[in-house]
Copies of this chain bind each other. A is one copy, B any other.
Amino acid sequence: MNYTISDVAGMFNLSVHTLRYYDKEGLLPFISRDKSGNRVFTALDLDWVALICCLKNTGMPIKDIKQYCDWAKEGSITGEIRKDLFKKHRTTVLKQIEDLKKNLELIDMKISFYENPENVQLMDKLACKVAAETMFP
């Protein structure tokens, strides 16, 4: 079963422009074409696109993803270096999760601040609005 560029765009919530941009940047170094030059995506290609989206959505810059693609094209000789890349990237993703969890705590504190009517009362009593804003329990 094959897919057109707009099928794939729909599946991954990307625009066809974006997919063509990724192709141009070398992130899809394998997509074949039909006889009229249109891109043809196979089921296997979808897994690749999923991986590219994974890397992009975890904050890897396009040029680093491109580097990975270039390594992938070279075959097993770059196996170790690619493993290292994923391991390093793994720690950055863990860090992102930790950072988000810390930020979530602050957001939760703000919500509980606003949920206490006394705090909201206090807001206008203080000369500096920001004082009320930053006075956490």
Establish whether residues B79 and A120, one from each chain, have CB atoms under 8 Å apart when the complex forms: yes
Q: Interface residues of A toward B: which range?
A: 35 or more
Q: For A44, list chain B residues within 8 Å (CB).
A: 128, 130-131, 134
Cα-based distance from A133 to B47 in the complex (angstroms): 9
- The residues of B that contact A104 with a CB separation of less than 8 Å are 58, 90, 93-94, 97
Copies in the complex: 2
A83 in contact with B115 given A90-B104, A97-B104, A106-B51 (CB within 8 Å): yes
A57 contacts across to B, CB distance below 8 A: 99, 103
Tell me whether A121 and B76 are in contact (CB under 8 A). Answer: yes
A11 to B54, CA, bound (A): 32
Instruction: With A30-B130, A58-B100, A75-B124 given, name 16 new contacts (CB 8 A).
Output: A48-B130, A50-B106, A54-B103, A54-B107, A57-B103, A73-B129, A74-B129, A75-B123, A75-B129, A76-B123, A79-B120, A83-B114, A94-B104, A96-B100, A97-B100, A97-B101
By a beta-carbon cutoff of 8 Å, the part of chain A in contact with chain B is 29-30, 44-45, 47-48, 50-51, 54, 57-58, 72-76, 79-80, 82-83, 86-87, 89-90, 93-94, 96-97, 99-101, 103-104, 106-108, 110-111, 114-115, 120-121, 123-124, 128-131, 133-134, 136
